[in-house]
Structure 1
Amino acid sequence: MKTNTKGSVTVYASLMFLIVLLLLSMCLEGAYLYLGKGKAQGAYMAALAGARGNYQKELEQQYHLFGLDVRYGKQLDGKLAETLKYNLTESRDPFSFYPGSVKTSHKVSLADKRGEILREQIGEFMKYELGKDGIRLLKENVLKMPGEEDASRVREVINESDRKAKEEEEAEVSEKKKEKPVKAKDPRKGLVRILREGIVTVVLGKEAEVSEQNVPIIYGHRDTKKEKNPDFYQAESVSQSLKGRGQDASSSGIKAELMGTAYGVKYFRNYTSKEKKKGLQYETEYLIAGKESEKENLGSVFSKILLMRFLPNLIYVQGDTVKQGQAEALAASILGITGIVPAVKLAKHLLLAALAYGESILDLRNLSEGKQVPLWKSKDTWQMEFAGLSSLTGRRKSVKKGLSYKDYLQVLLFLQTEKQEKYLRMMDVIEDNIKRKVRGFSLKDCYVSFEAETIMSLHPFRFGGVRLPVTGRYQWSMIEVSQY
């Protein structure tokens, strides 16, 4: 009897031990799986972080932009799988991982979304680079420019003179046919003759060395429009040249545009940059003009700055009584007809416009030499006289405080009609420069984000040799998005 009792106790104890062992094994297996998944996730994230560490260093050093090294990106799947396997299998722990291959998809490069990726990275970087004071100063430069109201007022003066001159001329010209007065030399003829040489030659001179390289345009839009000089014998032509000269800094997204503008001027070369380098010389000018050759880009920007200077200079001479008197006397002498007052007044305003244009060319010469020019002229800072207009010569004056060539580039970049265009053109310049250091470089292969997927396998723990109802290995899918 005692023997049977002892046997029952032994069986009972054995069963209890097995149950406890089974429960313990299940708990440990669950903890093992939970910790294993955590370790696998950490190793996977570390592999992705390691991939991001292989950024294109030449791109970051020169432009402070981040994207995967194109050489690493071409073998991204294999590199990720290799790093993941190393992270999981080289450590001394009870986990037995069998990482599968890694497949990447949904890759986004710096060239995607029409420059939007580039714009976002520039905005993030310039927030710290520029700061609030820098943004304020840039905005002030834009706001200092004459407004559309100023341009409209000047155009109205010229157009009104033109209307009155035409009305009076029809009525009185027949009475003056017999008169043959002696006429003075018109300085506008000399001005027009010189302008035919081209704006680059007019500003820099015939002996100046100017880059004529072609721009490798891949992403940006090629601008084929031609700039024209005003016809200072036609009121309509002068008035037309003043259209769109008024500036507006109240548009939406001004902060973001100022970031891109500041970046474009700081990290891209322009005509007045002192350092020498291979490749394109007038990079900022290309961002603004989008022409096919460097000389065209420089000429286009010169023309744009010239017209920006034209409006404030014209406003000044129209309010200067001395200049008005000189222009009226010269107009009467040129026409040789003192009877048609409106015609003389129209000629006066056209001569004032020509004088302001000549002054603007002298301003542009100063700017191209790295000097500053006051936005609004005064008697002390005015340079051009009617006597020097036909040869575009005048006593050039420099000022200590004013706007520089670089300031005007900032304003032109900010006022671009197609805001996204500057980022597309930046991509052209960036790719061309980095390609000189890294053979085969392309922004299309420079990834800023991607999705990585793999199947992870883990061998069961099997504590105490207990086999749980698990067929083979634990498996689960891991999907993560990695981005800069």
Structure 2
Amino acid sequence: MHEKGSITAYLSLILVLMISLLLAGLYSVQLAGARVQMVSAVDQGLYSLFARYDRTLLERYQLFYVDGSRGQGDMQMGKLYGTMEEDIARILFNRVDGNHNGNIGDLVMQGGGITGYTLATDSGGSSVKEQAAAYMKASLGAQGVRLLLEKNSRDRDMAQNMENARESIEAGESLDQYDHLKEQAEQEQEARDEAGEEMMLPEAPEDFVNPIETVRELKQLGILSLVLPDGKELSGRTQELSALASGRKLETGMGMYETGREESGVTEEILFGEYILQHCGNFSSPQPCEGLAYQAEYIIQGNHSDIVNLKGVVHKLLLMREAANLLHLYQDQAKRAQTRAAAGVIASLLLLPEAVPVVEQILLVCWAYAESILDVRGLLAGEKVPAFKEASSWQLTLSNIPRLLDGADDLRKNDRKGMSYNDYLRILLGIRNSRQKMAGCLDMIEMGMRAEEGKSNFRMDCCLYTTEVQFSFIAGKGNTYEVIRGYGYDM
């Protein structure tokens, strides 16, 4: 009997030990499951938050952001956190008070908070540029991107050639030189009169009109009146810039490494310019909503007025076309001969025969400028102009320059293989400072969004891109756990 009792006690001890180990294992599994459940719930809460992206912003501009202002015009991080906390509680406890113990490990949520976030305007709006470039890459496809890059390379070379020639083509400088020659001629005539010398003044050939004087008249007219095609109306819209992103102090993110890059690659910059042309209005395709109609011109110029922005772009186009046209005149010997002959007439009328080379250069610049007026007028009319002219595509003879005062639209030639107004905007966007270009784009996105119903307070610096959260839980017998998770549209 004694031996049997010893065996029973020994087995009881072993059973107690085994049961203890089993219960400890079950408790450990329970806690592990609770930790998985905690992390999963926080992840799902973040996913739920970012699933509330602004659908209007996505449909109109293909950008993923959560409107952190909830339409109020200022950040509502407390409300965003509250929404996420409710979602997590609903997932864990099937209710929102956070105290129901029907889950694994008898979890209780103690609380938490948002420990970091980034906004659309952080890092100079780099997340906007990244999303825009990604959208354009997907939209164009590999072949489309390759063709765009090749075109950009050609356009950049052309712009560089024009930039190199720009210093010598300012019509204003040429007119100043001509005025100086006229003053010199008058002074010499006065000296001859005082000395009693008499000279037979030369007479100009019949029907000869001094092209330099015509260009002077053209320069005195408004720049838009020179190039605006018949039937085209100007937008008189203006925009209060202080209400837009570039004119106010912006909200900034906190506590997270900024995911965007300060400097973007060449390809991304080119794709971003294409994105602007696709999503922003311009003179050839004005934006119909309230605010500025010529949005691409605003991004290039940065003024509050459509008319002022268009004037700035037209001035740049005239300079670009003037440079290209002057290069053609230098190379065309027939036109050089005409210019030299006209310079001889003008110099003889001034009684300054030695000034023929100077007058010839002034005439070349004036002729290039006059041709550029027809070019830009054609661009604004929706026509195309070749990057560099040939004899067959040249429009204006030296003797026809005075006709510009009456329009001379019948002299325009539309080259279907040439460059359009949008092509020139692409070049101007390409040489625009990257930060200024992004600031202008953010302004135009805000302006466009505010024209949508219920979006009058929309702000890009209230658009959430990434966030990091921290939540505390109690599981089992007083075990405390912290869960830190981050999520965003770049992940």
Same fold (TM over 0.5): yes
Corresponding residue for residue 91 of structure 2: 87
Length-normalised TM-score, structure 1:
0.81
Q: Distance in 1 between matches of 2:438 and 2:413?
A: 36
Corresponding residue for residue 202 of structure 2: 181
Q: Distance in 2 between matches of 1:202 and 1:105?
A: 58
Q: Distance in 2 between matches of 1:70 and 1:118?
A: 16
Q: What stretches of structure 2 of length at least 5 have no aligned partner?
A: 96-101, 249-262
Report the alpha carbon displacement of residue 317 of structure 1 after superposing the two structures with TM.
Answer: 1.3
Deviation string, structure 1 residues 221-261 (Cα, Å, up to 9, x no partner): 89xxxxxxxxxxxxxxxxxxxxxxxxxxxx99422221221
Corresponding residue for residue 133 of structure 1: 147
Which of the numbers 245, 253, 278 marks the counterpart of 1:266? 278
Corresponding residue for residue 476 of structure 1: 481
Q: Distance in 1 between matches of 2:289 and 2:269?
A: 28
Deviation string, structure 1 residues 41-62 (Cα, Å, up to 9, x no partner): 1121111111111111111111
Written as runs of structure 1 = structure 2, the 5 A alignment for 1:211-250 is 211-217=235-241, 218-220=244-246
Corresponding residue for residue 381 of structure 1: 393
Which of the numbers 415, 419, 422 marks the counterpart of 2:431? 415
Report the alpha carbon displacement of residue 325 of structure 1 after superposing the two structures with TM.
Answer: 2.1
Corresponding residue for residue 98 of structure 2: none
Which of the numbers 69, 75, 80 marks the counterpart of 1:76? 80
Q: Distance in 1 between matches of 2:153 and 2:135?
A: 19
Question: What is the aligned-residue identity percentage?
Answer: 26
Q: Distance in 1 between matches of 2:472 and 2:65?
A: 26
Report the alpha carbon displacement of residue 216 of structure 1 after superposing the two structures with TM.
Answer: 3.6
Corresponding residue for residue 349 of structure 1: 361
Q: Distance in 2 between matches of 1:205 and 1:129?
A: 34
Report the alpha carbon displacement of residue 139 of structure 1 after superposing the two structures with TM.
Answer: 2.6
Equivalent residue of 1:147, what SS? Answer: helix
Alignment check: 8 A CA contact 2:109 2:473 kept:
yes
Alignment check: 8 A CA contact 1:78 1:102 kept:
no
Written as runs of structure 1 = structure 2, the 5 A alignment for 1:381-460 is 381-392=393-404, 393-394=407-408, 395-416=411-432, 418-437=433-452, 438-458=455-475, 460=476
Report the alpha carbon displacement of residue 434 of structure 1 after superposing the two structures with TM.
Answer: 0.7
Equivalent residue of 1:441, what SS? Answer: coil
Which of the numbers 357, 363, 373 marks the counterpart of 1:361? 373
Which of the numbers 217, 225, 233 marks the counterpart of 1:209? 233
Q: Distance in 1 between matches of 2:264 and 2:86?
A: 48
Written as runs of structure 1 = structure 2, the 5 A alignment for 1:8-87 is 8-72=6-70, 74=76, 75-87=79-91
Report the alpha carbon displacement of residue 40 of structure 1 after superposing the two structures with TM.
Answer: 1.2
Written as runs of structure 1 = structure 2, the 5 A alignment for 1:160-199 is 178-179=198-199, 180-183=201-204, 185-199=209-223
Q: Distance in 2 between matches of 1:8 and 1:26?
A: 27
Deviation string, structure 1 residues 15-53 (Cα, Å, up to 9, x no partner): 222111111111111111112111211121111111111
Report the alpha carbon displacement of residue 427 of structure 1 after superposing the two structures with TM.
Answer: 0.4
Alignment check: 8 A CA contact 2:281 2:294 kept:
yes
Q: Distance in 1 between matches of 2:41 and 2:271?
A: 37
| More displaced 10-residue stretch of structure 1: 193-202 or 369-378 | 193-202
Q: Distance in 1 between matches of 2:188 and 2:32?
A: 102
Equivalent residue of 1:402, what SS? Answer: coil
Relative to structure 1, the CA distance from residue 481 to residue 216 in structure 2 (aligned partners, 3 Å threshold; closer, same or farther) is: farther
Equivalent residue of 1:104, what SS? Answer: strand
Alignment check: 8 A CA contact 2:209 2:399 kept:
no
Q: Distance in 1 between matches of 2:125 and 2:113?
A: 27
Relative to structure 1, the CA distance from residue 148 to residue 270 in structure 2 (aligned partners, 3 Å threshold; closer, same or farther) is: closer
Alignment check: 8 A CA contact 1:97 1:457 kept:
yes
Q: Distance in 2 between matches of 1:298 and 1:426?
A: 17
Length-normalised TM-score, structure 2:
0.80
Report the alpha carbon displacement of residue 366 of structure 1 after superposing the two structures with TM.
Answer: 0.8
Report the alpha carbon displacement of residue 274 of structure 1 after superposing the two structures with TM.
Answer: 6.7
| Pairing 1:143–2:153 present | no
Corresponding residue for residue 244 of structure 1: none
Residue identity opposite 1:181 in structure 2: P
Q: Distance in 1 between matches of 2:398 and 2:15?
A: 114
Equivalent residue of 2:281, what SS? Answer: coil
Equivalent residue of 1:450, what SS? Answer: strand
Report the alpha carbon displacement of residue 141 of structure 1 after superposing the two structures with TM.
Answer: 2.7
Residue identity opposite 1:261 in structure 2: G
Corresponding residue for residue 227 of structure 1: none
| More displaced 10-residue stretch of structure 1: 172-181 or 200-209 | 172-181
Alignment check: 8 A CA contact 2:245 2:446 kept:
no
Residue identity opposite 2:444 in structure 1: V
Q: What stretches of structure 1 of length at least 5 have no aligned partner?
A: 223-250, 461-471
Residue identity opposite 1:408 in structure 2: Y
Alignment check: 8 A CA contact 1:373 1:404 kept:
yes
Alignment check: 8 A CA contact 1:338 1:344 kept:
no
Report the alpha carbon displacement of residue 383 of structure 1 after superposing the two structures with TM.
Answer: 0.9
Relative to structure 1, the CA distance from residue 475 to residue 364 in structure 2 (aligned partners, 3 Å threshold; closer, same or farther) is: same
Equivalent residue of 2:487, what SS? Answer: strand
Alignment check: 8 A CA contact 2:239 2:291 kept:
no
Corresponding residue for residue 99 of structure 2: none
